[in-house]
Structure 1
């Protein structure tokens, strides 16, 4: 199998961050992590509070694309997706906290890393969020952002970013792509596991494996376009779809979800801007670019992110034809841009010497730069933060390849 994360970074960081339970498309098969101290069933985890002025609402959608057969399990029939929508809500109303994930989703995520006997699934599934499931939508029209998680990683792991963007006035749809996560709960008690991960693992050589991952990227692009259809089309699947401004839409993702963001922009001109958070471009950015649209590349230290190993970020950068930034974060790891640093730090797990960036700085940087990019390109609000290094963010390096 291809080594797609530098082993000295990947193994250490994965070992130190409890929940990196998923087989990810940017790493080879890794040895089991060093066991961490057992967490009590009474341990309480909490995501960081959103920073924007809006209360946050949340709703879960089950969407089925009747025009496509599932690519990983054709006998399952039509392609299915689970989508968490976070949105700006009115301050009054909403009494039920949105769940982080189900017990079974948490158990499978932990079991994939051999951690199910170390941390109770209930500790992870009951992580406190800051969204309300029955919150009335705020008045007005808001830009839409679609989020795609890493390969084998549940959509829940991008909840902190989704909640923060919603609090700043964005509708955010986080997508679980069927058979591409350690566990995705569907209505009726079904939980689908990562068949696509098994296909990638069984690939006979590097070229075949890469082709599987390219299929993941392009397949997710189709998923994301379908979700956009169902949120903004003539017969929307979401009761609050009227609050979406369909003229302002972005797509972003972590790891292979970042590759899918670029693939979605290549396939669908309705996506106005894109963000790749530390993901190899498994579908290469063509020489013709992506339609002169803005794109943010936010990753780990130069030379440590997955795309540096095969040159996909260098090639992608040179082929991007619109406004662009390539930012790297000192002392970060592949999962810096997800919820994992916050959760692992609260559990008291040891800091990885290869990725010592604190959870607080991980969260602030990810939220701050993604929001600045979206504000500038979906709201036409110039953001000095994107013009160059700032004293308040010494970890962020502006790359000029």
Structure 2
């Protein structure tokens, strides 16, 4: 297994990445990294209801509900700056992490600087679609850095919140409780991944005919339990061409015949001392193109916005992997994988062996 200098590879891929100026970062308090692609980014939010399906976790609530934020390539200078979270979502997310990171206050989260714009005019043409499924108990907004970057590179990214699976996801009527949060210990993770796969197929149905989207090129990228959902959605829906699991389980363990990328933290998915045996179990059953990467120094949230925002908020402990580098690596490897398998491109990053350590 070879050790590669991922930072050098990342710089080769990103070229002249736009920087956040000190003035901009200071004015916003917290700031997401600027997207690395050439396009400006638009953003719109959809509230979807699957009236053919009762919510699996809170049946008395009625039909299954989903919140979806679409990020898309946009005409530069149109629209207005999108907030990271509204005040209710910010308060709920701050409360979720108050014990571990009390510095991450609602006031700071509300002021987080994003790069997408609400009401921005879309660029012409149909784009490949990337569905994003977040980790359990965290909202879709925690994948905003990845979503904005993908949109700047020419993709439409659809970040999905699954009802009652996050403590800080706002639906029409308010922020829903994480009623399902105790379920993994009771019923396992596979039923939740199966439910999310159904959610994602419904989102694909709802986006059919959207003028921004090329439905012939679809991928699912998920963090944590969202990663299990990515694999499960591929098995259940042939419209999904490729998938990425960011430090999540591969449950249920079952065959997978299309391109799939596994990117994990050493704490959970180091091949030499894994805490999650599902990756080892499923590997021989993956018959399509496959790669497995361990991001050296990463913790479970290094693939999301959270480590960076906590650091910027004044968290005093040192992260083994610099959070900004964690985001850059995640963006680079995910984009290189999607470019190869949705767009027919090639990248030096994807020349890695079947299993490598990066960082």
Range class of TM-score, shorter chain: 0.7 to 0.9
Map 1:252-401 → 2, pairs under 5 A: 252-284=221-253, 286=254, 289-290=255-256, 292-301=257-266, 304=269, 308-352=274-318, 355-388=319-352, 396=358
Render the CA deviation track for 1:235-290: whole Å, top value 9, x for unaligned.
Answer: xxxxxx21211110000100000000001001000000000000012211x2xx22
Which of 195, 207, 210 is the matching residue for 1:231?
207
Q: Which structure dedicates a bigger proportion of its chain to strand?
A: 2
Question: Structure 1-normalised TM-score?
Answer: 0.78
1:99 maps onto 2:83 in alignment: yes
> For the aligned residues, what is the CA RMSD?
2.1
1:13-47 per-residue CA deviation (whole Å, 9 max, x = no partner) reads: xxxxxxxxxxxxxxxxxxxxxxxxxxxxx971110
Residue 364 and residue 117 in structure 1: after superposition, are their counterparts in 2 closer, same or farther (change >3 A)?
A: closer
Contact 2:54 2:64 in 1 (8 A): yes
- Contact 1:147–1:253 at 8 Å: present in 2 too? yes
Deviation at 1:97, TM superposition (A): 1.1
* Aligned pairs, number: 329
Q: Please name the residue that 1:34 is paired with.
A: none
Alpha-carbon distance in structure 2 between the residues aligned to 1:256 and 1:243: 28
Alpha-carbon separation, structure 2, partners of 1:375 and 1:199: 36
Change (3 A) 1:349 1:109: same
Question: Aligned in 2, Cα 1:113/1:119: closer, same or farther, shift over 3 Å?
Answer: closer
The answer on 1:80 being equivalent to 2:65 is yes
Query: Contact 1:279 / 1:305 at 8 angstroms: preserved in 2?
Result: no
Secondary structure at the aligned position of 1:232 is classed as coil
Correspondent of 2:52 among 59, 67, 88: 67
Residue 251 (1) aligns with residue 220 (2)? yes
> What is the alpha-carbon distance in structure 1 between the residues aligned to residue 342 and residue 238 of structure 2?
14
TM-score by length of 2: 0.87
Gaps of 5+ in 2: 1-26
Question: In the alignment, what sits opposite 2:21?
Answer: none
How many Å apart are 1:118 and its aligned residue?
A: 4.6
Rounded Cα–Cα distance in structure 1 between residues aligned with 2:184 and 2:321: 31
Distance 1:92 1:121, change over 3 A: closer
Aligned to 1:168: 153
